[in-house]
Amino acid sequence: MTVKDYLLTFDKLELYNALCGLFERTYVVVTAGRTEFYKFIKNIEETEPVLSEGVIKARPVSEEDDLDMFLKEPNDEAEYALLYIRRAEILGYAVDDESIALCGRLNYAVHLVWEMTWFGFRNEDAEEEEFDS
């Protein structure tokens, strides 16, 4: 299943509330609000993902359900951060069933959204940051 298909299996409000909980725990203030989050989900629905053989993996890094998320490409031992990968590409990677079983279905999804919205909910903001660096 692609990241896009996986994220769209969740209720938007459930995902938003869980994301807010994650931000509160990490002392980051959610300033965009639910409206911007819903626009982000609508953008996901409308985005044609760039399909890839890569898999988004996760592993716990603390007892508070924090996860380290990374991309693994086939036949490549390196682990790649999601920070500077275009959203359409992230949406086309596969979710990792082992990571979901290990970390929890909702927790995995929330961390995916967190990584994808690191530079903001609007795709234009993220694209600007992703490739200006």
- List pLDDT tens digits, range 116-130: 888 777 666 656 555
Cα angle 7, 94, 126; round to 5: 60
Question: What pLDDT score does 117 carry?
Answer: 84
By the 10 Å C-beta count (0-12 exposed, 13-18 middle, 19+ buried), 45 is classed as exposed
Mean pLDDT rounded to a whole number for the chain: 86
Provide long-range contacts, Cβ within 8 A and 24+ apart, for 39-47. 39/121, 39/122, 40/113, 40/117, 40/121, 40/122, 41/7, 41/8, 41/12, 41/15, 43/123, 44/4, 44/7, 44/8, 44/87, 44/91, 45/8, 47/4, 47/87, 47/88, 47/91, 47/123
Adjacent-strand bridge partners of 55: 72, 94
pLDDT category of residue 26 using cuts at 50, 70 and 90: low
* Alpha-carbon distances, residue 101 vs 60, 98, 114, 132 (angstroms): 12, 5, 19, 36
- As given in the structure block, the two tokens for residue 2 are 């692609």
Question: What pLDDT score does 133 carry?
Answer: 43
Average pLDDT over residues 51-59: 95
pTM of the predicted protein model = 0.85
For 38-47, 56-65, 69-78, which range has the lowest pLDDT when averaged over its residues?
Answer: 56-65
